A and B are shown apart, each in its own frame.
Chain A
């Protein structure tokens, strides 16, 4: 569903992502980890089409993000780290805009919007202008919008920022359910516990390179450290004396 084919991206002289090759299958929840400045956000931005790779190609459901961005976006849902909304639209109007953008019929859009309003418990404030929302409310609305068209691929950039524990639980349950149904999730996070709990595979990025790719069990095995947490493994791997790729 997601393919990074020898992807590199530089910012001036700095190589933010270097020769990244990665394939994520249908129904997989993948967590990308790494310290600040490792290249996670750059990778996510290339995956959603905001950045174009300097070299290589990124594909979603077979659609190249540079050559056929529109085709790829039909399959994508995206939750950015900072919610982007229209202040002067109500939550419901925003969801209608997204539904219309994905070409949903009126009947489908109505039922999907009601469904997501219920899932994310937006009913109380769905008809208020977004300018009056708190950060957590905005984030829940963005989640609802990203689930609206049942995307094949969901991209999440630090998804739990601003959410209260109940909303975090809702999101986790939804992600688990949707991945079981075949949705692919690509998530960048610093919340290691969440990655450990939810991810099928993790990737650890350091200075633009994928230092590790596999399951948490494989990471333990590779680092010859048994019965330890992902946090320990992560700190060990991202330390200056960590494993070489």
Chain B
């Protein structure tokens, strides 16, 4: 070993710019490696993500082109109102989402723990984690906002500078709420550590109440003249509350509308460009100021906050056995007790994992809110039936994301505990069946309730409601069978992260098969019903279907379609389950 003196004859504090470059380089390397591993290991998933994103973008673009053309004919001024309502809602959402993401990245990640023990400036660590939070919180905005703004430019025949300005406008806008979220996060952790949860809850409740009030005030009465000019005027008058000149959403809306203005010869109006650049400067200046303030605050309070948070003692809560757990464990025959105990264990894990049940509540809660608001519109029978089936498909798709994200990894997650299960007097089949029952029953209750709510709000007949409920049961059964069966067929016992398990090949395959299964079930059930309603609405000889189509729309056609739905459901449930059971019986762990 060579003789050397410790000390920092060879080390020196990095200048600000060099440190900034180092973090940028780190981010670039991490991003590049992540993309490379996705291309190498998750091609199916990547292809699907790209394909679906392109499809989503294209559909949104088409939809917005139609909508803007319609609004342009109706009343061009409403565009400003719509932009303001859209961007101000996003403003609030971005404050919360970036705040929460910044909290996770800056205070709870192992990376932050590493960086805080290195000679890195606190404001640099903040900037590094802020960039990460801003990306994760705003990609949805880009995916949703870019087709809307592109469509707007196309409909308004805007000149090319408009399309160039869209991106800087979006970026500078996003930074403002993100910086506010990050500032709130640092302040709360450093100075109000014990109040942060309450403050966050209070803020979220206030935002929900405000959104609820706005929604309620717009849809509180059943509107018989929906989609009429008077209805639009009433609705837009209520939305005018979002048009506040001190809000960045107003600067963004005004800047974009000005940038889209053209002269009679189709060139960009000089006045419009000037105004637009003024609004862009306002956004950029505010974004920079807020970022500087966030950086200064991080320098002052990040380490202090991190220390405060690390010093908090987690509350030791006794968790007495719930009555339901006790009941479930004891009910039924003794032979089924191991299976019931496995169910109780999974139920407890679900209840105690906030990330699982909170997502469950948020997604199904939002869906419930949407279904509840369906009563504000009046429909004719065929239209209501179609919306009912579309809602059924949406419920199925949401459930499929849960079965893929949370149910599919369940068998794999037993990997590290597999030795416990192997030593217990439990047959391996019971482990698989317990996951299936857990997923099936857990999905059945909220899904059937939501479908019932949707159908009741749409005011459709009991016959159709029964049909939808049958489809819903089939969907819950099939989706659970696919997720549990494939999870048992392709377990990843060495992986401890459910997110990584579900994003692998098996998880993606499960999602694709689930989506196809939903489409098949809904189309099989919807087509005869639609034909039946059309036949009854038009009557014979008035363009109503005839021949095979008439048979398909009749009672025998409906019965056949429902039989097929049940058959497809049974296939989707038992084929993957049997494959999974067979593989799991011989699994070496």
Contacts and interface: CB of A to CB of B under 8 A. Distances in A.
A, B in one complex: yes
Contacts of A66: 303
A25 B18 CA distance: 34
A9 B13 contact: no
Interface string B110-132: 11011011111110000000000
B20 to A, nearest CB: 12
A12 to B, nearest CB: 4
A88 interface: yes
Contacts of A14: 313
A50 B14 contact: no
A48 B116 CA distance: 8
A150 B4 contact: yes
B517 interface: no
Given A9-B311, A89-B30, A103 B121 contact: no
B120 A101 contact: yes
A104 B5 CA distance: 16
A50 B109 CA distance: 13
Q: Is the interface of A mostly helix, strand, loop or mixed?
A: loop
Nearest to A108: B10
Contacts of A101: 14, 19, 22, 118-120
Contacts of B122: 69
Given A50-B310, A86-B30, A88-B30, A70 B117 contact: no
Contacts of B114: 84-85
Given A149-B8, A152-B8, A88 B117 contact: no
A178 interface: yes
Given A45-B310, A48-B117, A88 B111 contact: no
Contacts of A213: none
A24 interface: no
A75 interface: yes
B307 A51 contact: yes
A208 interface: no
B362 interface: no
A168 interface: no
B119 A150 contact: no
B582 interface: no
A9 B119 CA distance: 23
A201 interface: no
A174 B29 CA distance: 31
Nearest to B118: A101
A103 B11 contact: yes
Contact of B116 (A49, A85, A98): A49
B14 A103 contact: yes
Given A73-B119, A97-B26, A181-B6, A103 B12 contact: yes
Given A89-B29, A89-B33, A98-B118, A49 B6 contact: no
10 contacts: A50-B116, A73-B119, A73-B120, A75-B8, A84-B111, A88-B30, A100-B14, A108-B10, A150-B5, A181-B5
Interface of A: 9-12, 14, 45, 48-52, 66, 69-71, 73-76, 78, 80, 82, 84-86, 88-89, 93, 97-98, 100-105, 108, 112, 129, 149-152, 174, 177-178, 181-183
Given A103-B12, A105-B10, 15 more contacts: A45-B310, A49-B116, A49-B117, A50-B307, A51-B310, A69-B122, A70-B13, A73-B117, A74-B11, A101-B22, A101-B120, A104-B11, A152-B8, A181-B6, A182-B6
